Amino acid sequence: MASKDALDKELEVEEGEKSTTFKSLGVLDVLCEACEQLKWKTPSKIQVEAIPVALAGNDIIGLAETGSGKTGAFALPILQALLETPQKLFALILTPTRELAYQISEQFEALGATIGIKCAVIVGGMDMVSQAMALAKKPHVIIATPGRLADHLENTKGFNLRSLKYLVISVLTSNIMS
Ligand code: AMP
């Protein structure tokens, strides 16, 4: 059976986590409001650990389960940096699957709705021409699978990634473990 001290300590940790807010992690008000609208009341563990480090401009390697809030952990610092220095073709998120690319894009669009974020999803199995048109509009964030992105880098005139400021490489945990 756990001792009273251990139980008190556990409660302390939980209370500590509850009192952490997106604002206390350094997230700007407009993005805190976006989190509220998504009913994200408090930051998740990976968000508490990653957001302040990313906001300070550091590189991050994070390991977290599906459903842990890891997309928010990298999307919020990228959106905040974009707010501070608005720029087209600002960030690239590479994902292993098409489904994940669309899910990540949805979260960027939801968190960035009030700041006018423009995303493009570039994945295989979709029309190259409409993707090339989306890239020509120079979105702020590209969410892509590697093969189709390489195809556009080779074949889509005028498209390059020279202006990128943020790169996220998302991999499936099962691939790391195996
Ligand atoms: P992810 O692990 O990034 O795939 O996120 C899984 C789900 O958790 C998504 O539906 C998010 O909208 C949601 N989510 C992310 N961060 C939070 C948070 N701080 N509070 C509540 N839900 C969250």
Domain span at 13: 7-177
Greater pLDDT, 150 or 65: 150
Above pLDDT 90, what percent of the chain?
83
pLDDT, tens only, 95-128: 999 999 999 999 999 999 999 999 999 999 999 9
For the segment 164-173, what is each residue's pLDDT rounded down to a tens digit? 999 999 998 7
Q: Is the CB of 43 under 6 A from ligand 1?
A: yes
Residue 96 maps to a domain: yes
Residue closest via CA to ligand 1's atom 18 equals 40
Of ligand 1's atoms, which has the minimum distance to the CA of residue 22?
19
The predicted pLDDT at position 13 comes to 38
Two structure tokens written together for 77:
């610092």
The answer as to whether 93 is a domain residue is yes
CATH number at residue 143: 3.40.50.300
Candidates 42, 44, 46: which one to mutate for ligand 1, based on the most atoms within 8 Å of Cβ?
A: 44
Domain for residue 1, yes or no? no
Tell me the pLDDT band of 41, cut-offs 50, 70 and 90. very high
In a domain, 114, yes or no: yes
Atom of ligand 1 nearest to the CA of 42: 19
pLDDT at 176: 57
Tell me how far apart the alpha carbons of residues 78 and 80 are, in angstroms, rounded to a whole number. Answer: 5
Q: List the structure tokens of 138.
A: 């120079």
Residue 2: inside a domain: no
pLDDT at 66: 82
Decide if 73 is inside a domain.
yes
Question: What pLDDT does 1 receive?
Answer: 43
Q: Are 96 and 145 in contact (CB under 8 A)?
A: yes
Categorize the per-residue pLDDT at 175 as very low, low, confident or very high, splitting at 50, 70 and 90. Answer: low
Residue 152 has a pLDDT of: 98
Ligand 1 centroid–CA 176 distance in Å is: 22
- Please tell me the distance between residue 48's alpha carbon and the centre of ligand 1 in angstroms: 13
pLDDT score of 6 more than 80? no
What type of residue is 117?
Answer: I
pLDDT digits (tens, 9 = 90+) for 43-67: 999 999 999 999 999 999 999 888 8
Asked whether the predicted pLDDT for residue 151 surpasses 90, the reply is: yes
What integer best gives the mean pLDDT of the chain? 90
Residue 120 phi, psi dihedral angles, 5° rounding: -130, 130
How many domains is the chain built from?
1
pLDDT value of position 2 = 47
State whether the beta carbon of 72 lies less than 6 angstroms from ligand 1.
yes
Average pLDDT over residues 124-152: 98
pTM: 0.89
Q: Beta strand 119-122 with 141-144: parallel, antiparallel or unpaired? A: parallel
Q: Is 112 in the pocket of ligand 1 (CB under 6 A)?
A: no
Query: Is ligand 1 within 6 A of the CB of residue 20?
Result: no
